[in-house]
Amino acid sequence: MIRSTISGLPGVNAFKRTATGFGLRREAKRQAALAGVDEVSKSGVAAALCHRSPKLRSVLARERARIARAMLADCRFCAHDCRVNRLAGENGLCHAGSEVRFFSAQTEVSDELELTPAFNVALSGCDLRCDFCITGASSWNPRAGAGFDARAMAKQAKAALEGGARTIQLLGGEPTVHLPAALEFVSWLPETARLVWKTNAHGSARARELLDGMFDVWLADFKFGNDACAQRLAKVSSYVRIVQENLLWADEHSELMVRHLLMPGHVECCWQPVAAWLAENLPGVKVNLRSGFWPAWHTRQHEELLSPISRAEAERANEMARDYRLNLVE
């Protein structure tokens, strides 16, 4: 049973809304897991989060946004566990402070077919340092772009829905590092909107507690199949364990879709172990195997990343997916 590190999260035991795409099995597992919330790790948080009556997502999101804001004083939203006081101007590995900025907000059609058209909001800043990041200049820099006003952005999102968008996606960079603003954004959105959390899956258990029930879909990256490649290409340790933990949690608490970007020279070392793990631990989960790698940002530092993925490697990767009977989607 999944057990909480923050007791009595608002609506955790009472949140009855069944998100779009939940099967009966997943919802039953979700409710069973949520019923086990009983541990406290942060004094003062428990009392603020303790509620028994069902509440709307917007109400829960607003309450959690306030809690998350206070938690910036001891930031532990991502697995780096920096514990810096961002409210006092201290910076952790993501270099984000208390101000939130965004570098893109528009309706797009380049994501998974069942999620598009999507109104995508990209927050500036990230806790990883992927040398191949196609938006590295903005994703790495929490001060890039314009100031983020959650209520104003929600108005744009509502207009996009009225104009034909099927989902609202929050991404980055990495949205986890801006969890208070993300939750505030959710609080202004329609209850019926289908929300997507587009993440690198490097968040902490504390972040997951606050996100529970907020997003209908977790669109999560599983970038590396081993810790050595993760350390060399993204400057992150214990990567595989952390991502696997987040994916298992997301599958229990939302609709999960997993992405893997094929990179030249990394089919055997990264994609193969990712595919094997997904087949064994998340059979049937939707997987998007992406072959659109493009040499960008700091890829010149890595000889194997100086060209797009070859046709032979892409074919080999898809053959592996078929061998493992993965549920590939576009």
The total number of structural domains in the chain stands at 1
In DSSP terms, 57 is beta-bridged to: none
Distance CA 78, CA 173 (A): 13
In a domain, 309, yes or no: yes
From first to last of its 330 residues, what are the pLDDT tens digits of the chain?
Answer: 223 334 445 444 333 333 333 334 444 443 433 343 333 233 333 334 444 346 899 999 999 999 999 999 999 999 999 999 999 999 999 999 999 999 999 999 999 999 999 999 999 999 999 999 999 999 999 999 999 999 999 999 999 999 999 999 999 999 999 999 999 999 999 999 999 999 999 999 999 999 999 999 999 999 999 999 999 999 999 999 999 999 999 999 999 999 999 999 999 999 999 999 999 999 999 999 999 999 999 999 999 999 999 999 999 999 999 999 999 999
In a domain, 185, yes or no: yes
- Do 186 and 61 meet the contact criterion of CB atoms below 8 Å apart? yes
In a domain, 15, yes or no: no
In a domain, 44, yes or no: no
In a domain, 37, yes or no: no
The residue segments making up the domain with residue 111 are 58-328
In a domain, 3, yes or no: no
Tokens representing residue 64 in the block: 């959690």
In a domain, 21, yes or no: no
pLDDT tens digit sequence for 95-122: 999 999 999 999 999 999 999 999 999 9
pLDDT tens digit sequence for 258-305: 999 999 999 999 999 999 999 999 999 999 999 999 999 999 999 999
Tokens representing residue 103 in the block: 């570098």
CATH of residue 304: 3.20.20.70
In a domain, 36, yes or no: no
